[in-house]
Amino acid sequence: MAVMLLAVGLSAQDNAKYNDLNYILDNKHMTAEVDKNPQAYGEIIIPDEITVGQKRYRVTVIGDKAFKGCKKLSHVVFPRYLERVYRSAFDGTAWLSDKNNWTPEGFFVVNDTILLYTNKNVKAKCVLDTKFRLIAAGAFEGNKTVTSVVLPEGLKVVEENLFKGCKNLNKVIIPQSVKKVQRYAFDGTAIYLNDKKWKKGALYVDGCLVATNKDVPATFQFKDKTPTRILAEGAFAYSENLQSITLPASLEEIPDAAFQHCLQLQEVMIPASVKRVGEFAFYEDEDLRWCKLPSELEVLGEMAFYGCGDLREQVLSDKLKRIGDGTFYGCKKLKQLRLPANLESIGDGAFAGCTELEDITLPATLTEIGELAFAGCDKFTKVSIPAGVNEIKKGVFKGCKHLVNVTFAEGLYAVGDEAFLGCSMIERIGLPESTFRIGKQAFMGCQSLERIGIPENLHMIEDGAFNECKRLLEVQIPDNVEVLSDEVFSDCINLRKVTFGKKLRKIGSLTFYNCRSLQEVKLNGEVVTIGVSAFQGCKNLTKVELPAGLKKIENDAFLDCERLPMPAVPADCEVGKTAFKGIKE
């Protein structure tokens, strides 16, 4: 069966404005990036944190071109939690053009610790002071003067495009403190352009593999003499030849997109030393079959194995607390999986489309299951929701066609939109007393569902919640439900009995459309509105008792209820022209 094409909401970002500056919010990590602010002028103070609604975000990034072209921008105070800044952020500003802000060494330095720009005054052999804790992305880009650079001890990241286009740069010393090398850091340098520097399709800089090319062999071996301690982001991405690789024991991390779209990659041997697998690490490696993760793995990035259609089994480290968005999305041959014993959250679409994945045990430590997390997992037959999960989010088990048994724990607050949509084998559902809301189309298309225990505490049953539950026989609406939304029980063709709650005030459009087994409707005294086509097509309806306080019956409300005698309608009730068209009398 083909992998379901599901719209996974992987972006958890919003835009916001705070004190006249634009930001991009990361709601997963509660951080903020300074976005483009083309009208900024004067002195700008970027705060350490911003508050949006009830949430606080640390400002960690000054984004690409954030203040570009702001000719009247004279000074910027940086936030103390800053982790990344783009050189392009201040292109064309008065602050950058002021010669007084440049050091004699050719550096533009902020807060004495952030190296933002360099110019032609930089010495050919540049040894950077250890005070630089952060160097901007592209800080040396296009520099024609520098020939060698010693990066400072304490630096953690060699940023993207850092030395791009430095045509005379032929040597860089990378300190042990560096844990990441971003993409394109050395593109266009003398190092990159020297064919003799490339060994079996790989380019190394001071023990770091920073790039590969089309000459990578099918079976890749790392250099023997110098241990490779770092792979750059995207180091093997889009490799057309690579089929198998054994990573070196000195490696601590597989970076983001390291093996992205390596379509022939089948086998990866990962050493025990690896503690982190980055985002998109093996993204769309369609032939990847063997890739055993280390038992001490601490971080598994979002979309790490997205689209790895040939991956068969995986055991996850008990040190993992989170499985990110789309991590195993579309792994359609993944059959066996053991979740970490201490797992706390599963991201959006994490296992969506894993059509061969067999029943798994959700650990008691779990508190969050993301949207569409297990959508399309056809082989699931049973699932038990842990007590810590208080919401079944949108589409979590959507399309799990063989799911029969679902157990909920007390503490569940909401069954979200489309949570069990299309789970056609579920026969019974018993919701705990803590359940407050059943979302839109939550159980739509559960065609085997015969009985559902709806708790008295329930307040909301939203649009289409039980639409097309064709075997549903009987429903008791709790007293706290005030509105039966549109299409809630539409096409429940075997629904015979409905007991309406005491506080019900409104029946929506198409709510009981085509419930052709329904025989009697007795509404309580609080109901004031019956919506369009609410009971249309209820062909066996023979008795309807309308409350004295009813104010409105909309068009087609009882259309084609061919066995229904005309009920007694309150004198001041507004009745649509076709409300009773086609009834018995």
- 12: pLDDT confidence band, cut at 50, 70 and 90? low
195-241, pLDDT tens digit by residue? 999 999 999 999 999 999 999 999 998 977 778 999 999 999 999 99
Which SS3 state, helix, strand or coil, does residue 192 take? helix
Does residue 397 contact residue 383 with C-beta atoms inside 8 Å? yes
Percent of the chain residues past pLDDT 70, beyond the cut: 98
Would you put residue 340 in left (φ > 0), alpha (ψ -120 to 50) or beta?
Answer: beta
**Amino acid at the residue 106:** G
Q: Residue 29 is inside which H or E element, if any? A: none
What's the angle, vertex CA 151, arms to CA 137 and CA 65, rounded to 5? 10
CA 240 to centroid of chain Cα atoms:
29
Which SS3 state, helix, strand or coil, does residue 196 take? helix
pLDDT of residue 2: 36
The owner of tokens 């157990």 is: 407
- 6: pLDDT confidence band, cut at 50, 70 and 90? very low
Strand partners, 107: 118
Can you spell out the DSSP letters for 311-349?
A: --EEE--TT--EE-TTTTTT-TT--EEE--TT--EE-TT
pLDDT at 1 over 60: no
pLDDT of residue 5: 41
Q: What rounded mean pLDDT belongs to the chain?
A: 94
pLDDT of residue 227: 87
Structure tokens at 217: 């062999």
330-385, pLDDT tens digit by residue? 999 999 899 999 999 999 999 999 999 999 999 999 999 999 999 999 999 999 99
Q: Residue 475 is inside which H or E element, if any? A: strand 474-476
Please write down the long-range contacts of 340-343, taking CB distance under 8 Å and 24 or more positions apart: 340/316, 341/365, 342/318, 343/316
- 177: pLDDT confidence band, cut at 50, 70 and 90? very high
Work out whether the CA dihedral 155, 157, 162, 166 comes out positive or negative: positive
Q: How many helices (H) and strands (E) does the chain have?
A: 2, 48
**Amino acid at the residue 366:** L
Which SS3 state, helix, strand or coil, does residue 157 take? strand
Q: How far apart are the first and last CA of the chain?
A: 52
> What's the pTM value of the predicted model, to 2 decimals?
0.90
Does residue 75 contact residue 95 with C-beta atoms inside 8 Å? yes
pLDDT at 496 over 70: yes
| Whole-angstrom distance, CA of residue 207 vs CA of residue 68 | 36
Burial (CB count <10 Å: 0-12, 13-18, 19+), residue 575: middle
Q: Which CATH class is domain 11-100?
A: alpha beta
Nearest in space to 461 (alpha carbons), one of 503, 427, 425: 503
Helices (H), 86-243: 94-97, 190-193
Q: What is the DSSP letter of 358?
A: P
Can you spell out the DSSP letters for 227-239?
A: ---EEPTTTTTT-
115-153, pLDDT tens digit by residue? 999 999 999 999 998 889 999 999 999 999 999 999 999
pLDDT of residue 581: 94
Domain boundaries, the chain: 11-100, 102-193
Pick the more confident residue, 266 or 131. Answer: 266
Work out whether the CA dihedral 115, 117, 120, 121 comes out positive or negative: negative
Task: Summarize the confidence of residues 516-542 as an average pLDDT.
Answer: 95
Task: Summarize the confidence of residues 13-40 as an average pLDDT.
Answer: 93
- 13: pLDDT confidence band, cut at 50, 70 and 90? confident
pLDDT at 182 over 90: yes
Can you spell out the DSSP letters for 467-479?
A: TT-TT--EEE--T
Does residue 184 contact residue 210 with C-beta atoms inside 8 Å? no
Nearest in space to 372 (alpha carbons), one of 388, 353, 355: 353
Cβ within 8 Å of residue 222, ≥6 positions away: 209, 228, 246, 247, 248
Task: Summarize the confidence of residues 319-327 as an average pLDDT.
Answer: 96
Cβ within 8 Å of residue 224, ≥6 positions away: none
Does residue 135 contact residue 175 with C-beta atoms inside 8 Å? no
| Whole-angstrom distance, CA of residue 184 vs CA of residue 232 | 9
Helices (H), 400-497: none
pLDDT of residue 9: 43
What's the angle, vertex CA 175, arms to CA 174 and CA 179, rounded to 5? 90
| Whole-angstrom distance, CA of residue 547 vs CA of residue 560 | 22
| Whole-angstrom distance, CA of residue 313 vs CA of residue 315 | 7
Does residue 220 contact residue 204 with C-beta atoms inside 8 Å? no
The upper half-sphere exposure of residue 32, i.e. CA atoms within 13 Å in the direction of its Cβ, equals: 24
Q: What is the DSSP letter of 86?
A: B
Strand partners, 50: 57
The upper half-sphere exposure of residue 229, i.e. CA atoms within 13 Å in the direction of its Cβ, equals: 11
Structure tokens at 192: 């990159």
Task: Summarize the confidence of residues 444-473 as an average pLDDT.
Answer: 95
Cα–Cα distances (Å) from 27 to 34, 63, 137, 484, in that order, read 15, 17, 24, 33
Does residue 527 contact residue 503 with C-beta atoms inside 8 Å? no
Cα–Cα distances (Å) from 371 to 104, 283, 347, 386, 394, in that order, read 54, 20, 7, 16, 5
- 112: pLDDT confidence band, cut at 50, 70 and 90? confident
272-322, pLDDT tens digit by residue? 999 999 999 999 999 999 999 999 999 999 999 999 999 998 889 999 999
